[in-house]
């Protein structure tokens, strides 16, 4: 049995109610050249039901998340590369703007880098990185963040990934995550963290040997992430995409509030041909994988750029932001549907060829890109044997009763994750009381 058929069967068994319609929606989404809306998927030849079934399916489908995680990683794990024996995962969040949906509950606010204040849903995605030189990834888990922080969601999903198998794993995180993610790391047995740090943070060395008097010390000397740092314990140079990369490592360091978790600090610097730094600021990393090579940890973090490219593909070509339903359940199931379509494309990849139109330049890469796989998916999925059953005639619906007038939808306030700060008085020199 081919990988795509194994994946379709595994996903079909992980879905309870509305499984036939939901799986056909995922296939139609994976093969759509342009996703105008969720209802527009009913025009696909892969979806054999009426357009009215689309939002009924998104509202009523039941998904077993544990079985879906097993289907995503067990079937598609063979298509993913490892890095020195480590399975490399990445965790990050993306914001889905719904600024004008006043009747949509659980909206949060976020200020973008441009200064714009937007409202909508923030979702957290954990993916497994598949190929080092492409942007292919396997979406392992996706969760809408209600009141939880990015750090709390990373710790929660890391524990789910850790319990999947006994293989050594690396979870790569960006600088938006805090040190509280180590609380979730303490419950893991097979997963280590590679997390980017903001400059200026302070760590502690291991304390000196106990002298026999008083309480044993927990912390040693301070280690601040600045330009004036002591000589590294280890330093190596490697080549990454044609650039020289210098990796410096300091061992046996820990956070102030997590003195029992020791790790390694890495400093990544891209160099000019004359040996000077290419950029003004280096990349600082903290990792709990003390036995891993520094170059392995550096490559694992630089590989994380595939996660950002995945977000771009999901929004531009798989319609991550096109579901405009005011129903919260429909939105959650739509995010899962987009992840299903993404993984389905990866399962089709071994059977596809990297063919481009004659007016395109010659392909520089031998592998099939995500967009090329999406363009070829329709012709391939029409021939694939799927476990879905054809729709059965159900007669006419009773419709709306005579005299029924639906009440207006309830408007929901925007949820604030942090307390509102009091503004200082512009005329007096005193600060506002907290």
pLDDT in tens, 313-334: 999 999 999 998 999 999 999 9
Least confident of 231-235, 384-388, 408-412, 425-429: 425-429
Residues 6+ apart with CB under 8 A from 359: none
Please compute the mean of the pLDDT values over residues 209-220 and round it to a whole number: 84
With bands split at pLDDT 50, 70 and 90, how would you rate the model's confidence at 425?
low
Predicted TM-score (pTM) of this structure:
0.91
Residue 133: the pLDDT is: 86
Length of the chain as a residue count: 434
Please check the confidence at residue 409 and state whether its pLDDT lies above 60: yes
Find out whether 257 and 162 touch, Cβ atoms under 8 Å.
Answer: no
The 10s digit of each residue's pLDDT in 267-307 is 999 999 998 999 999 999 999 999 999 999 999 999 999 99
Find out whether 188 and 108 touch, Cβ atoms under 8 Å.
Answer: no
The 10s digit of each residue's pLDDT in 338-381 is 999 999 999 999 888 887 777 877 666 678 889 999 999 999 99
Least confident of 53-57, 122-126, 398-402: 398-402
d(CA 269, CA 317): 34
* Environment class of 60 (CB within 10 Å of its CB; exposed 0-12, middle 13-18, buried 19+): middle
d(CA 333, CA 18): 12
């Amino acid at each position: 049995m081919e990988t795509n058929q194994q994946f379709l069967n595994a996903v079909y068994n992980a879905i309870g109610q509305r499984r036939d319609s939901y799986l056909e929606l995922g296939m139609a989404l994976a093969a759509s050249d342009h996703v105008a809306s969720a209802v527009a998927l009913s025009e696909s030849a892969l979806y054999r039901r009426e357009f009215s079934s689309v939002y009924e399916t998104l509202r009523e489908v039941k998904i077993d998340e544990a079985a879906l995680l097993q289907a995503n990683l067990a079937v598609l794990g063979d298509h993913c590369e490892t890095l020195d024996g480590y399975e490399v995962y990445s965790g990050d969040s993306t914001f889905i703007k719904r600024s004008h949906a006043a009747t949509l509950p659980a909206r949060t606010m976020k200020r973008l880098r441009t200064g714009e204040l937007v409202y909508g849903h923030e979702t957290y995605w954990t993916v497994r990185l598949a190929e080092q030189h492409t942007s292919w990834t396997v979406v392992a888990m996706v969760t809408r963040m209600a009141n939880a922080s990015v750090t709390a969601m990373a710790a929660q999903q890391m524990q789910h990934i850790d319990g999947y198998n006994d293989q050594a794993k690396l979870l790569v995180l960006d600088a938006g995550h805090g040190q509280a993610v180590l609380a979730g790391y303490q419950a893991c047995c097979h997963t280590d963290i590679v997390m980017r740090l903001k400059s200026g943070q302070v760590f502690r060395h291991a304390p000196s040997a106990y002298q026999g008097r008083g309480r044993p010390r927990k912390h040693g000397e301070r280690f601040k992430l600045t330009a004036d740092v002591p000589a590294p314990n280890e330093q190596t140079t490697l080549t990454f995409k044609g650039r020289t990369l210098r990796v410096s490592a300091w061992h046996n360091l820990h956070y102030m509030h997590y003195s029992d978790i020791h790790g390694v600090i890495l400093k990544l610097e891209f160099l000019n041909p004359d040996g000077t730094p290419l950029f003004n600021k280096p990349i600082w990393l903290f990792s709990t994988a003390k036995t891993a090579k520094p170059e392995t940890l550096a490559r694992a973090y630089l590989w994380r750029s595939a996660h950002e490219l995945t977000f771009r593909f999901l929004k531009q070509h798989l319609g991550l932001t096109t579901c405009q339903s005011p129903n919260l359940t429909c939105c959650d199931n739509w995010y899962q549907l987009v992840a299903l379509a993404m993984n389905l494309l990866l399962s089709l990849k071994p059977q596809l060829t990297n063919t481009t139109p004659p007016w395109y330049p010659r392909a520089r890469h031998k592998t099939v890109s995500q967009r090329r796989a999406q363009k070829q998916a329709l012709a391939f999925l029409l021939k694939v044997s799927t476990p879905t059953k054809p729709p059965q005639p159900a007669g006419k619906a009773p419709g709306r009763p005579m005299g029924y007038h639906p009440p207006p939808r309830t408007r929901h306030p925007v949820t604030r994750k942090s307390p509102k700060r009091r503004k200082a008085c512009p005329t007096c020199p005193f600060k506002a009381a907290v």
